[in-house]
């Protein structure tokens, strides 16, 4: 639910993917990573059908909601599930702020996006590495965020697929044209293989929202210490130089 929440308040947003966190200490991990300077909590939902992995659902979202509220953070739900409509309702009820879906997972994309908006959540549309951008032709008015996958969805810790840089540039052009016509800013989020090393290069291409899982939680200086300050500060510094 979004009571007057503004997802465009910050130029750059870092959204740590809790898929790479230590689930035995999830609340503490979220606390640590947001206190280190991250912004949104990226929440990966996988159903073992659309992607070959099984993760977490609305109950976990509901459990972390008080922590997210206390930290003034946003829950950014990424649904990698077939037929997402029922889960959209469940995640909205569980406190999700942003719900993103893959266009090929629903028979009726317009209906699913409307469902997200009618549930008072922000709507995101996610493109796999080879999914064509023409899904955007008739739905931008209902979308608040575009997410480009720079890995094949299903797992953390994969390598950034280089050709996605071209796709970023094309998407940014579409979003800039749309903003000129409509005055509405649609965020451009990247998901997969983002690290302190490549974040600035990707920002220069037009991305403003960065999911990072293993790049933060499994970073060699943070993995055992539960202290993400250094790695997150490095990311912020690199973004500030763009
Ligand atoms: C992949 C997920 C990503 C993943 C990112 O299907 O959507 O959010 O956790 O992990 P890293 O940053 O390790 O590539
Ligand atoms: Zn994700």
Three-state SS sequence of the chain:
CCCCCCCCCCCCEEEEEHHHCCHHHHHHHHHHHHHCCCCEEEEEEEECCCCCCECCCHHHHHHHHHHHHHCCCEEEEEEECCCCHHHHHHHHHCCCCEEEECHHHCCCHHHHHHHHHHCCCEEEEEECCCCCHHHHHHCHHHCCEEEEECCCCCCCCCCCCCCHHHHHHHHHHHHHHHHHHHCCCCEEEEECCCCCCCHHHHHHCCCCEEEECHHHHCCCCCCCCCCCHHHHHHHHHHHHCC
* pLDDT for 227: 87
Give the pLDDT of residue 222: 62
pLDDT at position 221: 67
- Nearest ligand, measured from the Cα of 194: 1
The pLDDT score that the predictor gives to residue 68 is 98
pLDDT of residue 1: 61
pLDDT at 11: 98
Question: Would you tell me how many other CB atoms lie within 10 Å of the CB of residue 155?
Answer: 17
**Ligand 1 contact via 131 beta carbon (within 6 Å):** no
Catalytic amino acids? 44, 191
Residue 16 Cβ inside 6 Å of ligand 1? The answer reads no
- Which residue positions in the chain have pLDDT lower than 70? 1, 3, 221-226
Q: Which atom of ligand 1 is nearest to the CA of 160?
A: 14
Mutate to test the pocket of ligand 1, among 213, 219, 223 (most ligand atoms within 8 A of CB): 213
Q: So what's the pLDDT on residue 182?
A: 98
212 pocket-lining for ligand 1 (C-beta < 6 Å) = yes
Task: Note the pLDDT of residue 194.
Answer: 98
What pLDDT does residue 61 have?
98
- Residue nearest atom 10 of ligand 1, based on CA coordinates: 156
Give the pLDDT confidence score for residue 238 in this predicted structure.
98
């Amino acid at each position: 639910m979004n009571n007057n929440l503004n997802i465009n308040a910050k130029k750059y947003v870092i959204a740590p993917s809790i898929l790479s966190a230590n689930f035995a200490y999830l609340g503490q991990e979220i606390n640590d990573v947001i206190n280190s300077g991250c912004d949104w909590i990226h929440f990966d939902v996988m159903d073992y059908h659309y992607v070959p992995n099984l993760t977490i659902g609305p109950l976990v979202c509901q459990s972390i909601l008080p922590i997210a509220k206390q930290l003034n953070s946003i829950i950014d739900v990424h649904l990698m599930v077939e037929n997402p409509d029922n889960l959209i309702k469940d995640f909205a009820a569980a406190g999700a702020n942003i719900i993103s879906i893959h266009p090929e997972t629903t028979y009726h994309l317009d209906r699913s996006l409307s469902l997200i908006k009618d549930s008072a959540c922000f709507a995101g549309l996610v493109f796999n590495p080879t999914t064509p951008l023409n899904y955007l032709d008739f739905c931008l008015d209902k979308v608040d965020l575009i997410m480009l996958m720079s890995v094949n969805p299903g797992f953390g810790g994969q390598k950034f697929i280089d050709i996605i840089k071209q796709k970023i540039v094309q998407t940014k052009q579409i979003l800039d044209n749309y903003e000129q016509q409509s005055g509405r800013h649609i965020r451009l989020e990247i998901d997969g293989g983002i690290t302190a090393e490549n974040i600035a290069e990707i920002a220069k291409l037009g991305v403003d929202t960065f999911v990072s899982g293993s790049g933060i939680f499994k970073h060699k200086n943070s993995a055992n210490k539960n202290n993400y300050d250094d790695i997150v500060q490095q990311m912020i510094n690199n973004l500030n130089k763009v």
